[in-house]
Amino acid sequence: MAKNRTTKDKLAWTAAKLFQEKGYEGVGLSEILANAKVPKGSLYHHFQKGKSDLAIAAADFASREMLRVIDDAFVPAPDYETGLTTLFHKLAKLFDLMGKWNGCPISGTLLTGAQNAVFRQLSEQIFETWITRISQHAIRLGIPENEAEDRATHLFVTLQGGWTLARARSSSDVLRTLPRYLT
Amino acid sequence: MAKNRTTKDKLAWTAAKLFQEKGYEGVGLSEILANAKVPKGSLYHHFQKGKSDLAIAAADFASREMLRVIDDAFVPAPDYETGLTTLFHKLAKLFDLMGKWNGCPISGTLLTGAQNAVFRQLSEQIFETWITRISQHAIRLGIPENEAEDRATHLFVTLQGGWTLARARSSSDVLRTLPRYLT
Amino acid sequence: MAKNRTTKDKLAWTAAKLFQEKGYEGVGLSEILANAKVPKGSLYHHFQKGKSDLAIAAADFASREMLRVIDDAFVPAPDYETGLTTLFHKLAKLFDLMGKWNGCPISGTLLTGAQNAVFRQLSEQIFETWITRISQHAIRLGIPENEAEDRATHLFVTLQGGWTLARARSSSDVLRTLPRYLT
Amino acid sequence: MAKNRTTKDKLAWTAAKLFQEKGYEGVGLSEILANAKVPKGSLYHHFQKGKSDLAIAAADFASREMLRVIDDAFVPAPDYETGLTTLFHKLAKLFDLMGKWNGCPISGTLLTGAQNAVFRQLSEQIFETWITRISQHAIRLGIPENEAEDRATHLFVTLQGGWTLARARSSSDVLRTLPRYLT
DNA sequence: AATGAATGAGCTTTCATTCAT
DNA sequence: AATGAATGAAAGCTCATTCAT
């Protein structure tokens, strides 16, 4: 039972990493299996619909990670501006650690490939979760309630675009310059 | 020769459209050939290295389109703010016309798949071209030279992020709200 | 133990039904398990050699059913001709009830797939059992002993061929017209 | 072009043979390719929908063979009874030549596997073609027009059933005894 | 006896590319 | 320049079976 959870988590974690780097269609199941050191036949016990279920699990995993990073940045912050600045710097550091090929894990996993309504819908839902979480931190840190969601959306959009440009430039620098536009 | 140019353009145009919708790895050559109504064996006469050359041509094509849209928005504009607002509204309209699946054509073509240094480099180069062009319009419209590139970068980042969110939401609305953050 | 017999019978019964519809190779174990609502690991307790043992049990089950139908048709019959006519009409009704995809359950289970000497031999044995049973009824109903087996064989052949044609035509009609050739 | 036709025909011929022996689901494409000595990737040029298209071609091929055998038996025959007797003897000889595993090529190819409406319909159409052809010979050989189709159907049914029994018994003997029931 | 996990060989199909004409 | 055939590696997935508990 413990072994089971390990296998399933290992697969989701490995898939999340690879999808973020190469996109959903850019990664083969055999590559995921090899990286996770899990034999071919095992996958369909844990993810009945195969690759697409795995992508959903990977996106869930990555989303939870992102929420943790958001919390880590905002919880100790004295105000919203400090929180968002910390967030961008944390993500810039992550970008440097993970290799120059990584962008937004949700976009990479759910929005890079052939049209898939379920993926699109899940990506929307996850993004709204992020925006809501940022918005809650904003309110807690003194931003007026009627402004909070707009500012959170603005932050999210800036982050997404910055990630893409950082990836194209193979440099996290731009991420560190963006907070200035959000204050 | 005229026929030749037509075939080559048809391929690049079709590939650009499909890569934008489904990403580089999400589109097969046979799908492109079928959509362009070009026979199987023809491709390698026009694009020696095959799919990757086709992607480069598609990205070039899409980039030129984007530069045209940028010019169309800024050339008649009385000031920078009006120009960028027009740009976002034009792109929102394009988003609605092209179907809810389209994102940035360069990201979709060059940054969705397995790691490819040539693609990454070309995407960087194209993005810088866009930023430079916006920057030139900004200067022409009265933005101080030492601010222009930063503002153009900010615009680009906001546009990229907005596109992604619009795609996830299947709605161009957010694109129309973004100009307010850029003025 | 009671539960055990139930599980085993449920598996054999389900397998018989599915093999008759789709043939031995056309049905996967997972489909049988799912239809019988029996968990994956249970099968090999009841059928040591797995699918092939299950097919043998399914064929045995189906053969006993067929013998019962034969008896039901001939036992109350005043003469052989009436008996065989009833038999064909009963089978036509069964054909209509079971769906247009069903043919002879033994052929479907034992003679549709890759060569298997055990299956072939069992099918022969079962068919001879049917022929013998029909022959016994024939003798009881006044057919001369030296003719009985030939007539029973003729009946069997006609039934087999009729089943196949009924299946191809998705119609049981032909089964009802065949008795006239057997009198 | 000549090579092309050869490859396609080789595939259809090989598939017909194997499907007749082992049924549609009992034969893998790799086995067909290996027997036909055709490389894996070639199949989908000639049979766009893959295995199912190949089965249709194989059935067409086998049907034409069967029509030829029917003609060969009836054309030189002085009367219908002689013709059908020759037919059963020819098929018994074929049975002995092709190995004990062969049954009706159409049943084996189109009616052994998972439910497929197109296959079922084609099998019906082919069987009716055979019956019609036999019927035409019957009329030519003096059978009254209003009896011909019934007698042809009877012949067909007897042939189908006889084939199945011959297969189960691994013996063509029964096929040689059946003509007596058709006169 | 019962069970979910594990297993790797095999399935059909699609892939981007090269070849011969 | 143009083309349909050829090619085999790889794709995602299902298979029947075995294992550990």
Q: What is the pLDDT of residues A19-43, one digit of tens each?
A: 999 999 999 999 999 999 998 888 9
**Number of domains forming the structure of chain D:** 1
Strand E proximal to A41 Cβ, under 7 A? yes
Q: Which residues contact C151 (CB under 8 A, 6 or more apart)?
A: C80, C135, C138, C143, C182
Q: Both tokens of residue A71?
A: 């919390």
Please classify residue B138 by burial: count the beta carbons closer than 10 Å to its beta carbon, then call 0-12 exposed, 13-18 middle and 19+ buried.
buried
Partners of residue B169 in chain A, C-beta under 8 Å = 124, 127
Residue C36 is assigned to a structural domain of this protein: yes
B82-88: long-range contacts at Cβ-Cβ below 8 A with a sequence spacing of 24 or more? B83/B137, B83/B141, B84/B134, B84/B155, B84/B179, B84/B182, B84/B183, B85/B179, B87/B155, B87/B159, B88/B159, B88/B162, B88/B175, B88/B176, B88/B178, B88/B179
Partners of residue D147 in chain C, C-beta under 8 Å = none
Closest CA to B83 of B67, B96, B70, B95: B70
Distances (CA, A) of B90 to A153, A181, B93: 21, 23, 5
Residue A1 is assigned to a structural domain of this protein: no
Predicted local distance difference test score (pLDDT) of residue C102 = 84
- pLDDT of C101 higher than 90: no
Contact between chains at C169 and D124 (C-beta distance less than 8 A): yes
Q: Which nucleotides of E are covered by protein (CB under 7 A)?
A: 1-20
DSSP 3-state assignment of D4? helix
Residue B80 is assigned to a structural domain of this protein: yes
Interface test with B, best of A157, A160, A180, A181 (most B CBs within 10 A): A157
Task: Considering only CA atoms, name the residue closest to the C1' of nucleotide F2.
Answer: B42
Predicted local distance difference test score (pLDDT) of residue A4 = 45
CATH number of the domain at D56, please. Answer: 1.10.357.10
Residue C2 is assigned to a structural domain of this protein: no
Q: Of the ranges B50-59, C2-11, D170-179, which one carries the lowest mean pLDDT score?
A: C2-11
Task: Considering only CA atoms, name the residue closest to the C1' of nucleotide E11.
Answer: D28
Interface residues 5-34 of C with strand E (CB < 7 Å): 7
Residue B124 is assigned to a structural domain of this protein: yes
Predicted local distance difference test score (pLDDT) of residue A3 = 42
- pLDDT of D111 higher than 80: yes
The integer distance in angstroms from the CA atom of C50 to the C1' atom of F15 is 13
Contact between chains at A25 and B21 (C-beta distance less than 8 A): no
The continuous run of DSSP H or E covering B174 comes out as helix B173-177
Residue A2 is assigned to a structural domain of this protein: no
Model confidence at C42, in pLDDT bands (50, 70, 90)? confident
Dihedral of the alpha carbons of D81, D83, D86, D88, in degrees to the nearest 10: -70
Chain C interface with D: residues with Cβ < 8 Å: 21-23, 25-27, 101, 103-104, 107-108, 111-115, 120, 123-124, 127, 150, 153-154, 156-162, 164-165, 167-170, 174, 177-178, 181
Cα(C155)–Cα(C177) distance, integer angstroms: 13
Domain that holds residue C134: 7-181
The integer distance in angstroms from the CA atom of A97 to the C1' atom of E14 is 36
Residue B110 is assigned to a structural domain of this protein: yes
Q: Which residue has the tokens 């133990």?
A: C1
- Is residue A35 within 8 A of residue A19, CB to CB? The reply is no
Model confidence at B2, in pLDDT bands (50, 70, 90)? very low
Contact between chains at C168 and D120 (C-beta distance less than 8 A): yes
Chain-centre distance for alpha carbon C27 = 17
Claim: this prediction has a pTM higher than 0.85: yes
Residue B1 is assigned to a structural domain of this protein: no
- Is residue A136 within 8 A of residue A67, CB to CB? The reply is no
Q: Of the ranges A41-50, D63-72, D82-91, which one carries the lowest mean pLDDT score?
A: A41-50
Answer whether C touches D (≥3 Cβ pairs < 8 Å).
yes
Nucleotide nearest to A6 (CA to C1'): E5
Model confidence at C160, in pLDDT bands (50, 70, 90)? very high
